[in-house]
Amino acid sequence: MRPQILNPLFADITVLPGVGPKLAALIGRAAGPLVVDLVLTPPVGVVDRSLRPMIAEAEFGRLATFLVTVDRHDPPPKGRRLPYKVIVSDETGFMTLVFFHARSEYLEKALPEGEQRLVSGKVEDFKGGRQMVHPDYIADPEKPDDLPLHEPVYPLTAGLTAAVMRKAAANALKRTPQLPEWQDESWLAARKWSGWNAAMKSVHEPVHDSDLSLAAPARQRLAYDELLANQLALLMIRKARVKSKGRAIRTDGRLRALAGKALPFELTAAQKQVLKEIDADMAAPERMVRLVQGDVGSGKTIVALFAMLSAVEAGAQAALMAPTEILARQHLESLSPLAAAAGVSLEILTGRDKGAARARKLERLARGEINILIGTHAIFQESVAFMNLALAVIDEQHRFGVHQRVLLAEKGPRPDLLVMTATPIPRTLALTAYGDMDVSQITEKPPGRKPVDTRTVPLSRLDEVIAGVVRVAARGEQAYWVCPLVEESELIDLTAAEDRFESLKAVLGDKVGLVHGRMTGPEKDAVMERFYDGALSVLIATTVIEVGVNAPNATIMIIEHAERFGLAQLHQLRGRVGRSDKPSTCILLYKPPLGETAKARLEILRRTEDGFLIAEEDLRLRGAGDFLGAAQSGFPRFRLADIAVHGELLAAARDDARLIIEKDSRLESERGKALRVLLYLFSRDDAVKLISAG
């Protein structure tokens, strides 16, 4: 049950004065539907009206507040659509206040002739005179509180004004109850942090730009609260799961040995080490939940197969889930010969399976005749039932949220879960998203892989690059050409995939193929298959090829407008080449001049192939919000914390959460009860309900 003290915050925003259903929909879009959403949405700017110059000294275009005497009103002649003017002055000179579509009775009341008023806004030069169009505020000097000197600026959406959002946030703050202190007193004293309510008030009432800084004490305090809620929830899930029984799978490795004989290479030391960690987890009575991070081409899929063979050898089934049909089919292609060598039945299930053929597959799966099932989201459907699922493997974890982990975990009696990602995740981010998992890293590449020669080339040398591609095709090798858009847009001057396809087709004829996100699955697969089979020399694509596509004969990767891509994405794309013993090249085509961040990004890529180093740099350059992007759905979104800035606070929150769990795992002490309020405040209470998800 949510602690009662939080009820005022978990009310709908329509309880706030002046917020009806129409405004609630707009505010909901900018912040969220509940009062707590407004409270946890910090301002993004501050309007400072504290500058008080004399009229003659005022800078044009700068926001300022003036104490003036109202000299006279100049209303427009009747029937003429002219502005209403009010002449005001101080001891240094005159200024005209200009109002369009004004009501004279309102202005006569607000600006009575002969009296003093405070007016705030921007002064402009008009035909040598000074004017202020529609002052932001007009106030009586006897009531200075009617003119706020500092105003917070909040995120907005179309149709929502700054004043409405500001008023709603201020009223949300007024509804906030005095919450109990969940932080350790000595920790607060050491950091010179205030209580939660005082910190929240300080964040919502900035005076200077420095108050908006992520390093400001109040913001740090609130960021730490959010990080502690995140870490505590993850450790509670982990503790509950360790208690939850899995099944102990011990084998003598017979099937693995058979598959190993069919492998054309030896496993690397890193692969063997990760398998050792997986074997120990699977042999333990508790359920395994392990994340395997491995750079592009480090051999994660073989590790996953060997783990699945252990489950099959123990008389159970395994499933491997990929984010796209193309990747699922590639896994089928690469793993089939090894599964056959081990005498294991391997099948695929995707959205393409229909009718009687699909029904037959599902019957065989339910009877246990299919040992390993590879598939896409189709595996989640209710009609898909395993006879005895002991291990579920999820490839490219960031494409799937926790909800899908739950669904897959429900397909068997507490199956072990192995999660794989080729997107190297910075250490701090891994802690926030996978703090409930054990993490393994494959840090080596298989033997024989040569480093990819990475070069940056301006778009003005495009003809030379095309000539190079023609030479590569003549040698019988293949090239990828990645473009950022499908078709030309008038708004952004980027060469589109379809345009580039036409220009290369003129040179190479039908040896050029095109794939992009708007094509159907079967259309994309047909082009991809022609590329794998060698029928195409060049594959022009948008980033649909980023994940998992494997064509060992491809030796050139050209990325057009590389400055538009994130570092991690560029690294993923580069990993599509260099998959054989042939020398490979990655050409980053850019449009000068480059901004500082874009320049730094391309330079890092030229300098290193270490995906983990690249990920840390990407996080530093872009900040956590941009690093995660829309696709990284598996990561938590923070409102007050920023991992790129608050990494040190995250480490402290991790240690604090561990101590709390050791001393008071049921959160029953005084501090424990306050921490329950914290978990509900940041909606981390769900974590406890997701224990079965892993």
Instruction: Give the CATH fold of the 452-608 domain.
Output: Rossmann fold (3.40.50)
Return the SS3 of 241: helix
- pLDDT tens per residue, range 361-391: 999 999 999 999 999 878 877 788 999 999 9
DSSP class of residue 161 equals -
For the residues 608-623, what does the mean pLDDT come to?
77
What is the distance between the alpha carbons of residues 103 and 597, in angstroms, rounded to a whole number? 51
Lowest mean pLDDT among 78-87, 141-150, 364-373, 526-535: 526-535
User: From the CA atom positions of the chain, what is the Rg in Å?
Assistant: 31
How far is C-alpha 316 from the chain's CA centre? Answer: 36
Confidence of residue 151 (pLDDT cuts 50, 70, 90): very high
For the residues 523-535, what does the mean pLDDT come to?
84
Is 452-608 the same fold as 259-442? yes
Encoded amino acid at 146, one letter: D
More confident call, 428 vs 353: 353
* Percentage above 90 pLDDT, the chain: 55
Residue count of the chain, please give it. 694
For the residues 571-588, what does the mean pLDDT come to?
86
- The class (CATH top level) of 50-147 is mainly beta
Domain boundaries defined on the chain: 4-47+153-212, 50-147, 259-442, 452-608
What is the distance between the alpha carbons of residues 72 and 75, in angstroms, rounded to a whole number? 10
| CB neighbour list of residue 384: distance below 8 Å, 6 or more residues apart | 349, 362, 365, 378, 411
Query: Quick one: which of 611, 641, 601, 602 has its CA closest to 625?
Result: 641
CB-CB contact of 448 with 265 (8 Å): yes
Superfamily of domain 259-442: P-loop containing nucleotide triphosphate hydrolases (3.40.50.300)
DSSP strand pairing (84-90 vs 150-153): unpaired
What is the distance between the alpha carbons of residues 64 and 53, in angstroms, rounded to a whole number? 7
pLDDT at 623 over 80: no
pLDDT of residue 241: 65
DSSP class of residue 633 equals T
pLDDT of residue 666: 84
What is the distance between the alpha carbons of residues 685 and 232, in angstroms, rounded to a whole number? 10
pLDDT of residue 683: 87
For the residues 119-145, what does the mean pLDDT come to?
93
More confident call, 694 vs 528: 528
| CB neighbour list of residue 301: distance below 8 Å, 6 or more residues apart | 331, 334, 335, 395, 420
For the residues 79-103, what does the mean pLDDT come to?
93
